[in-house]
Structure 1
């Protein structure tokens, strides 16, 4: 996939007009491919835990990149908390705002598309707008997250000038202006770029639902154990991990388990495929005046192999693997139900809940199993 992406540039044919956004998106992806390549280097050198920690960074970048590519809605807030409303009074305000929007739509004067309560803070109305449209082509929308990411300055938000070296003392007016910028950066981060804000914006844009949200939370938490101090996170990935030598060294003497190496590799595969599919879709949908030929065939061929070959890893958007269907039917379905479905393989996918114990469940999925009623064959059988 990385090779196909690297060679893709020569297959893209530009239109009559250049749009810098596409170059900026490629720039974003280029650095993500560098991160993915670093993960592969770590795996080649048997540094599995570090590869998983770096994959957490890839996952977070994937979340924001989905919004940079497909986040065609954004929101603004109206804070009513200073009115000291009861819950009933606030509900009435929400209904009043929604009725007002319907009237504006009827009159053809609506500038926003939806209004509802903001779920992440009390007594705030959330007005949802469509993204920034091209004046010449209203069907072409640039996601607001593209600019929110481009403009964000974390050092301005977090580092107070008075705690660091300054060339000269600023005037009160200058300090006031700087504080306004600080407040704006804090608002941008809180509502657009923080992890929980990314999930909220992904839901607003109908990119994820509550079920996908739960999967993201599970993967994000699992990968985060290798990025943040977490007892035994790396140790648990090793063979005979309950044996302690009490010796100094790099890591521990026991090797990483094969399933840990495979899991880390699959994270890189699925994340790279997801990021590349996002940018490929943007280029394929670009107006002809910007991109006349997308040239994505080889790239799409490469990314399509991931869900086909590695469907036994349940990531963010794919269907439950056979093992999870097998496990569900053992514990939660009657034989009659399974017979109606035509075997555990055909259990309705919306019935199968995601297993939050990612590494343990993945290890089980690699082993063939059987019960009196059903037989599950490892996806690695015959390899």
Structure 2
């Protein structure tokens, strides 16, 4: 029954290409106001490069290089997380390390309360831009001070995203590479080495607290962009896609059909092809990630003040983006509702049939109750086939699948 899946791969990729075409045609439709904001240009260029990556993924899928397409998908996902903060990250945080004070749990709690009271006094006097202080949830001995983003001097209402600044200024070679291990025209003296070490520490701090994966998740949380459930889904997708980016035993093999056949012939990849289900999964990742990126930038331009953007011109782009969730609701990504298959499995194993009847069927289960299945590929494969129990029946989302 691979024909229906192969047809669906083509349908998904056509939707993705239509989004890319709509995005490429969008630029001339944006009507600027009396002032053009360079931030918008920078963010559009960021998306341009991500669309190039998405286009590379489509080429890889078309040439049967599915593991490589999924590995690039991990890169797209990480850039999508960062881009959400570039567009909507109005808050950022700074940390204060109290580890040297060796406070007990009770003492640290008292210190937090003390700092919160001090902050209230400063806020009352108008002497601070800090909006919140609390314990940093990812380390037991650090205080977290939350601030509103960088405000432009000539337009205080506009908040310049701090993550865009850190992304543009981050230099990984400064953080990781020691000058003494590489060619230098001149040897640095002691004072120069001290200054350079300061740059190393600054870049390490920037990466750890703003650009690392954990920092992105935490910033998304404090900005209210994701909640605990979305965080869990990000972790599962990020981990799954990461298996094709980092050395992981049998990650690519498990996507082949059959996956348990071994041979001694030398070849490009394995002799057996990737399964049609793996091609569809890779295609859906690209489609949803492109839709997410384009949705973010469309909202950014639409919400810009009239003096910057007089007409966003997003009608065609929005229509292209909307096709993803409308046509492919059976793939559970980050922000969409659980597909019918996950509702079906949840009700079979965890819900009283009386409750299901009261809801009017398993498809009406409260979406907040349905847990995400961390086994991405296996669960996705099963969802493509119809299933029946003594209580409920599930119909495949693909025409022609039994």
Same fold? TM cut 0.5: yes
1:156-175 equivalences under 5 Å are 156-175=174-193
User: TM-score, length-normalised on structure 1?
Assistant: 0.98
Q: CA deviation at 1:136?
A: 4.1
1:48, distance to aligned residue in structure 2 (A) = 0.8
| Aligned residue among 5, 20, 24 for 2:42 | 24
Deviation of 1:381 (Å): 2.3
**Alpha-carbon spacing, 1:376–1:133, altered in 2? closer, same or farther (3 Å):** same
Show the counterpart of 2:209. 191
The equivalent of 1:319 in structure 2 is 337
CA deviation after TM superposition for structure 1 residue 147, in Å: 0.2
SS in 2 for 1:120: coil
2:32 to 14, 20, 23: 14
In structure 1, the residue matched to 2:375 is 357
Matches within 5 A, 1:281-320: 281-320=299-338
- Report the counterpart of residue 149 of structure 1 in structure 2: 167
Task: Note if 1:273 corresponds to 2:291.
Answer: yes
Q: CA deviation at 1:92?
A: 0.1
Partner of 2:75: 57
Deviation for aligned residue 1:172: 2.2
Is 1:213 aligned to residue 231 of structure 2? yes
Residue 120 in 1 paired to residue 138 in 2? yes
Q: Show the counterpart of 2:394.
A: 376
What residue is the counterpart of 1:87 in the other structure? 105
Counterpart check, 1:236 vs 2:254: yes
Per mean C-alpha deviation after superposition, the further-off stretch among 295-304 and 14-23 is 14-23
Which segments of 5 or more consecutive residues in structure 1 lack a partner in the other structure?
none
Residue from 35, 46, 54 that aligns with 2:53: 35
Once residues 92 and 238 of structure 1 are traced to their aligned partners in structure 2, the CA distance between those partners, rounded to angstroms, is 57
Larger mean CA deviation between 169-178 and 36-45 belongs to 169-178
Q: Where do 5+ consecutive residues of structure 2 fail to align?
A: 1-18
- The SS at the match of 1:168 is coil
1:261 to 279, 282, 292: 279
Q: Distance in 1 between matches of 2:150 and 2:226?
A: 21
Cα displacement (A) at 1:100: 2.0
Cα offsets for 1:189-217 (capped at 9, x unmatched): 00111111111111111111111111011
CA distance in 1, matches of 2:162, 2:224: 15
Quote the offset at 1:110 in angstroms.
Answer: 4.0
Instruction: Provide Cα deviations, 1:59-80, integer angstroms capped at 9, x if missing partner.
Output: 0110111111111101111222
**Cα-Cα RMSD:** 1.2
SS of residue matched to 1:139: strand
Which residue in the other structure is 2:5 paired with? none
Deviates more, 1:118-127 or 1:90-99: 118-127
Shift in Å, 1:99 = 1.8
- Which range is displaced more, 22-31 or 354-363? 22-31
Number of aligned positions between the proteins: 383
Counterpart Cα distance in 2 of 1:145 and 1:18: 21
Q: Distance in 1 between matches of 2:219 and 2:66?
A: 32
